[in-house]
């Protein structure tokens, strides 16, 4: 009986891990802003983020091309900050290079 109680208690004390997905906004090379696969106009991004259920304390990744228009980047960041989203991270495409050399054979 004690074993059954302990097994049941173990199941009851488990906790649910909340969704850890980091929302992403993307700015492409043409300056188009996309959130959740939909094109969003500047000035409507914070509304779309809020409507998607993203909390203000969550981190939001903003994917940007190598050369992004600084005024667009700043305007988007300002819009999010005005709406209470202060944890924004700008992310560029990662690059990796490798050099293949001939082995030293003697």
- What is the pLDDT, as a whole number, of residue 6? 46
What CA–CA distance (Å, rounded) separates 79 from 76?
A: 5
Dihedral (CA of 43, 77, 35, 29) sign: positive
- What is the pLDDT, as a whole number, of residue 19? 45
CATH 1.25.40.320 for the 20-91 domain, yes or no: no
pLDDT tens track, the chain, 106 positions: 545 544 544 444 444 444 445 678 999 999 999 998 899 999 999 999 999 999 999 999 999 998 889 999 999 999 999 999 999 999 887 766 667 777 666 6
- What is the pLDDT, as a whole number, of residue 18? 45
**pTM of the model as a whole:** 0.67
């Amino acid at each position: 009986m004690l074993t059954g109680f302990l097994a049941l208690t173990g199941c009851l004390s488990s906790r649910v891990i909340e969704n850890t997905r980091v929302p992403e906004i993307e700015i492409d090379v043409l300056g188009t802003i996309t959130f959740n696969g939909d094109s969003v106009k500047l000035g409507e991004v914070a509304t779309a983020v809020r409507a998607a259920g993203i909390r203000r304390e969550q981190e939001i990744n903003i994917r940007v091309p190598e050369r992004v228009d600084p005024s667009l980047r700043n305007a988007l960041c300002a819009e999010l900050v005005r709406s209470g989203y202060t944890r924004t991270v700008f992310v560029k495409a990662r690059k990796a290079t490798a050099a293949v050399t001939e082995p030293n054979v003697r």
